[in-house]
Amino acid sequence: MPTFSTNKKARFDYEIIETIEAGIELFGHEAKSVRLGRMVLVGSYGVIQNGELWLLNSEIPPYQAANLTTEYHPSRSRKILVSKKELTDLIRRMEAERLVLIPLSAYEKNRKIKIELGLAKPRKNHDKREAIKRREISREIGKKIK
């Protein structure tokens, strides 16, 4: 499974509780652009509106800028495709536990573009400092082992 885009900052800023695989609704030229690795997930998030799941603030630049219509917007809202059972479970968990939905990566599975979403809790600053300390300690241990 080739990975087209990752949101590296998401795992640092949020504590990921659960991951979900979902489809994403794209135009043809957007799919070509994503396959070239041009999708930007940093700063994007999932939201539930009118009983549907939407991805906001993800940017997909045009595949061929010269051939686009004037009304195309690279950071438009895109529909995330999940089953009704998954959607009701997400709504329940997001409201009860005050969780947010963050995209972690975009990849290809069986010739379809999928997006990995994480149900997450925002980390506080002291938690981020602890994560940095743990990462530095593991690097030092790795250097000493070599």
Q: What is the pLDDT along the chain (146 residues), one digit of tens a residue?
A: 788 999 988 888 888 999 999 999 998 888 888 998 889 999 899 999 998 999 999 988 887 766 666 677 788 899 999 999 999 999 999 888 889 999 999 999 999 999 999 999 888 877 778 888 888 999 999 888 87
**Alpha helices by DSSP H, 21-145:** 28-35, 84-97, 125-145
pLDDT, tens digit, 9 for 90 and up, residues 116-125:
999 998 888 7
pLDDT score of 12:
82
pTM: 0.79
**What is the helix (H) or strand (E) element at residue 11, kind and residue range?**
helix 8-13
Each residue of 126-143: b (16+ CB within 10 Å) or e?
A: eeeeeeeeeeeeeeeeee
**137, 14, 6, 75 alpha-carbon torsion, rounded to 10°:** -150
**Domains located in the chain, CATH noted:** 3-145 (2.40.280.10)
pLDDT, tens digit, 9 for 90 and up, residues 86-103:
999 999 998 888 899 999
What does the mean pLDDT of the chain come to? Answer: 88
Q: What's the DSSP call for residue 124?
A: P
How many Å apart are CA 19 and CA 90, to the nearest integer? 11
